[in-house]
Structure formats: structure tokens, C-alpha cells
Amino acid sequence: MTMKRYLNYIRFFSVMLITGVAIAACSSSDDIVKEEPQQPTGPKTYTMTVQASKGGEGTRALTPDGSTLNATWAAGEAVTVYNVTKGADLEGTLVAQSSGVSTTLKGNLTGTIEDGDKLQLKFCSPDYENQNGTLEYIASHCDYAEANVTATVSGTSVTTGNANFVNQQAIVKFTLKQKADGSNVNIPASTALTVNDGTNDYTITPTSATNVLFVAIPPTGTVNLSTTVGGISYSYNKTGANLVAGSYYDISVKMNRDLVNLTNVTENTTLFDGDVVTGTLGVNKKISIADGAAVTLNGVTINGTNDGSYRWAGLTCLGDATINLADGTTNTVKGFYHSYPGIQAAKRAGEGKEYTLTIQGTGTLDASSNGYGAGIGGGSSISCGNITINSGTVIATGADAAAGIGAGRSTSCGNITISGGTVTATGGNGNYVGAAGIGGGTYGSSTCGVISISGGTITATGGYNAPGIGCGSGSTCEAITISGGKVTAKGGSGGTGIGNGAGSGSNCGDIEISGGTVTATGGYDSAGIGSGVNRTICGDIKISGGSVTAQGGGYGAGIGSGYNNSSCGAIEISGGTVEATGGSYASGIGMGTSESSCGTITIQNTVTRVTATKGSNATNSIGKAYNGTCGTVTIGGTVYPDGISTSPYTYQP
């Protein structure tokens, strides 16, 4: 063996020896790592027991105790468990073992629970959307309470400290009242009250009529209530309510009335301040306006039935009242039983002043009666108070012996004031008697206060033997004043345009015109402005401004007295433009014929122009007509004892 081969052999042997040692070392039993078998990490089933009681007010359902609620458990109620630490729900439930304020909750739970885990217990069946307003319903459908505990685990047994359950919603007792008068708002059975928390709507539908409803609602600062009862829409809106979870509230709610829909009205209804009224009244029910209320008519139709079972007006004012006519709407109101007006203006008895009905707005009102009542005002033997019209389009038609606007048959009304709007008033006709378009009704006990017109466009037509504006046949009125507006007044047969009607006992006070455009036409045998036929009387007639055109009818003067023993007081014209034309045998300014009379006549040089035209066969254009008596005539300071015979006669200083 050569040396070289020997060395190679030695190297090979050494490598093999070292390799064998290494292999032997790795194979040593002392150096092998043994792995322990892994324990299962899946969920376990635990038996959990916890003592549970109420915590705080209004928890776990639910009987009133003063201003709070007593909370009790019912045996068999179930509670779910959420592991807050692990962020997972546990399968299974804990069940109440007994009833009462406190109970033991016990049951099997599957999942993972370790010692010290935070657990949340939930009694949870919240169904807020549909409730019936009772605590019993809340207890069984809406109760949502929670309690937080810490787990103590021993094997598969879990215990905790006492669980204090606290409701997660507020529970509110709502007592519903009308804001207007404090009366109850009763929600009928099967009628919904909607409760809104600012985000969600909850529907509360009672099983029997009530104004007390219990409602479960999540914590909120906003409470909105709304409902519609008997055609009336109510609402209540509250921000900053601060309803806290777990608390019980007892709240008396004052509901606003947003809309009254007469189509759905089922009972006698009083309208309150702020009410907006719409729809057609389809039942024979009384609709009244509360004392002091301002209401808006927004497309209303009331067609009353002339039946003795329904003894009321279409609208009955119970005191001071304001009717606003909504823009672009037409509102029709007709009285019920024939003795009543379309709209009854309240009369204050024995207190020294009258109630006032005010009508205004930009819409239209058409008011009428079924018999002996005014369109707007009083009825047969039913007195009325003051009537004021500020604006709007008003059409008022009186029935038999009743004014369009004013008094009914055989009764009285207060003052009538018109300052604007478009007013058409027609007095009623009867058997030989009628009533004023604006003013009094018929017969001696019918009276009217002061009639004042300062603006608007007014067309007034009297019924038979009645004036366009003034007192009716056989009735009386106080002063008539016109200071503005466009006024067209026409008397019925026997009635003046402006003044009084026919027959003994028909007397009106002074007539004063200081502005506006006035056209007055007398009916048969009556003055255009002044007294009517057959022993009627009016006070002084004063014209200080405006444009006045007066035409006597039959045997009546243009301005002055009518036929047959009728009379007027002094006539004074101090301003404006006046054109007066008498009827047959009658003066333009002065008197009618057949023993009628007038007082002194004075035309001052401050007028713009005065033109008087006598009727056929009359003696004078100004002064005495044919027979009868007349006072002294003074024109521009000049006295004409026998009057002015020239016709037409024009005085223009």
C-alpha cells in the first residue's frame, strides 16, 4: 500500500466514524422532544345561576306606584347572555324561576366563559312600532332591560353577583288634552296616535276610547305626537324632552289642533283659536266657534237641513270670533232650522256691550239662511252682536224678513262695520215685508245699531219694503255713516237705497256721508237717501265729501223723504259732488209728496258741485215738492224761502 493510498483510507474512515457518532447522538432517547396532546378549545356548556332584581325606576314591567312603576318578574321569562369580554353571544337562555320583584335566573349556556369575564344579561323583546297604549302590552311586547355582571367560573358552573336590570327605554304615560280649552282628547278604539322620536314613528292604537296612553320609547330629546279624531287633526311637538332610559314619565300633553275636516266630523264640534277648517259637513251636527277664537275657513261647505230637530245656525259664534277666509277658497255656509242665520254673531246679554264677529281674508264666503234668519247676523227672535268685515269677498243673503247682513226677523243686531273687501248683501223677502241688505230685519222689535262703511266695494239690495242699507220694514236703526269705498245701495219696493223701509215704526237715525263713491236708488215711493214710504222717519242727512248719486223711486225724493207722511230731518251738504233726482212729484233734494216733510236744507260753498233734478210735476228741485212741508233752503249763504224751482239746478261755487 502506498503512502498516498493509506492517507486516503485514513480520511475516509475518519469521516465515517464522525458521521456515525453524529447519527448516534441524534438518536439518543434523552434528546428526543415529546409534544403534549392539545386540549379541545371549542365551546363548553355551562350551568349559570344569578339572582336578579329590578334596578332604578320603571324596570321590568309594570304597575303604577305613584310617579314610578313597580317592576316584577314572571316565572318562565327568559334572558339572553352576551359575553362582553369575548364579544360573543352565548347560546341558550336563563329562565326566571319564580315571579316577583326579584327572582333566580337559571339555565344552560353554550359558549366560552372564563373567570372574570364581563357578561351582559338582556331581557329583550322590543317591538315599539305597534302598541296599544297599556302597560300590559309594554310588559309583554316592548320591555327591554339589561344588567351587567362579572362571571365566576368553577368547572362548568357559572355564578355572578346580583343582576340589577334597568330598562333601556323610557316609559311615558301621556294624558292628552286640548291646548285650546284643556278638555280631553279621547282617542277612539282603532284610531292611531303616532309617536315620533325625531327618527322613527311608533303607532299607538287603543282597544277602547281613552285619553291616557302608556308608550315605550327609546331615549330621545324629541317627542312628536299626531292623531286625527272626528275630523280634527291634533299635534304636539317637543324638543329638549330628555327622556332617559329606565325612567318613567307622567306627562299631560296639550295638543294643538291643526286641521278640522268637516267631511269626517261625527259629532257637535267647537272650533278653537287657530283652527283651520276644510271639507263638506256631511252630518247634521252643530259647528260652533269658541269665544275669542280666530279660525280659518279653507274650502268649507255647510248646507244646513231645514228640520226642527237641528235648531242651530250653519256656524254659531259663542262670543267674540274672527273668521279668516283662506286665499283662493270658496266657503259656503247655510243655516239649519229656518229660524237661524247662516252665521250667527253672538249677542252678549246684560253686560253692557256686544260680542263682535270679524270676517277677513282673501277668500270668498257665501252665507245664507233657510228661513227667517240673516245670511250673517241674527235669526228669527235670535238677536246678534256686532259684525265687522275687513276684507274678502262676502256674499250674504237673508231669508224671509231677515237682512243679508244684520238682524233677523223681529229681533236686533249690534253695530255693522265694513272697512274693505267686496260685499254683496241681499235682504230677504216675505209676504209684503222684507229686510235690509245691510241692517235691520222686519217688524217693530227688529233693531240695528250703527252701520259704518269706510272702504271696500259694497252692493246692498233691500227686500220688499226694505232699504239697501238701513232698517227694515217697521224696524229701527241707529246712525248710518259712509266715509269711503264704493257703495251701491238699492231699496226694494217701498224701501230707500240708504235709510229705512216702509211703514209706520220704520225709523233710522242720522245719515252721514263724508267720502267714497255712493250710488243710492230708492224703491217704489221711497227716497234714494232718506226715508221710505208711509209714515217713516229718518234723522238728519249730512254730506261732507265723496261722490254721491241718489235717485228717488216712485214719489220719493232723491235725498230727503219718501211718499205719504214720511219725513226726514235737516239736510246739510258741505262737501263733495252730489247729484240727486226725485221721483214723480218729488224734489231732487227735499221731500216726497202726499203730506211728507223735511227739515231745513243747507248747501255750503265748500261743496265741489251739487245738482238737483225734480221729478215730473214736482214744484222744486230743492225744497218743497208738491204738497207737504219743508224747512228753509240756504245755498251758499243765500236763503231761498220757497226753494229752488229750476231743474236741473247745479250749484258749483
b/e 333-365 (16+ beta carbons within 10 angstroms → b): bbbbbbbbbbbbbbbbeeeeebbbbbbbbebbb
Mean pLDDT for the chain? 90
Q: How confident is the model at residue 558 (pLDDT cuts 50, 70, 90)?
A: very high
Segment among 469-478, 520-529, 558-567, 643-652 with least mean pLDDT: 469-478
At 624-635, the pLDDT tens digits run 998 889 999 999
Cβ(179)–Cβ(253) below 8 Å: no
Cβ(340)–Cβ(375) below 8 Å: no
> Is the bond into 213 cis (omega within 30 degrees of 0)?
no
At 10-67, the pLDDT tens digits run 343 343 333 343 333 333 344 444 444 444 456 899 999 999 986 544 445 566 666 6
Segment among 21-25, 221-225, 553-557 with least mean pLDDT: 21-25
Q: For residue 124, what pLDDT is reported?
A: 80
CA atoms of 44 and 46, how far apart (whole Å): 6
* pLDDT, average across residues 604-633: 96
CA atoms of 480 and 454, how far apart (whole Å): 11
At 301-355, the pLDDT tens digits run 999 999 999 999 999 999 999 999 999 999 999 999 999 999 999 998 766 568 9
Cβ(599)–Cβ(642) below 8 Å: no
**In what helix (H) or strand (E) does residue 12 lie, and over which residues does it extend?**
helix 3-26
Q: How confident is the model at residue 68 (pLDDT cuts 50, 70, 90)?
A: low
Angle 619-624-630 from CA coordinates, rounded to 5°: 170
CA atoms of 523 and 529, how far apart (whole Å): 11
Q: For residue 15, what pLDDT is reported?
A: 36
Q: For residue 55, what pLDDT is reported?
A: 53
* pLDDT, average across residues 272-280: 95
Q: For residue 64, what pLDDT is reported?
A: 66
Angle 278-284-288 from CA coordinates, rounded to 5°: 55
Tell which residue, 571, 558, 562, 510, has the closest CA to residue 536. 562
SS (H, E, C) 55-75: CCCCCCCEEEECCEEEECECC
Does 491 have pLDDT greater than 70? yes
Radius of gyration of the chain (CA): 46
pLDDT greater at residue 169 or residue 261:
261
SS3 21: helix
SS3 137: helix
CA 9 from chain centre, in angstroms, equals: 123
Q: How confident is the model at residue 247 (pLDDT cuts 50, 70, 90)?
A: confident
CA atoms of 577 and 181, how far apart (whole Å): 53
The number of beta carbons lying within 10 Å of the beta carbon of residue 198 is 11
Tell which residue, 606, 587, 609, has the closest CA to residue 598. 587
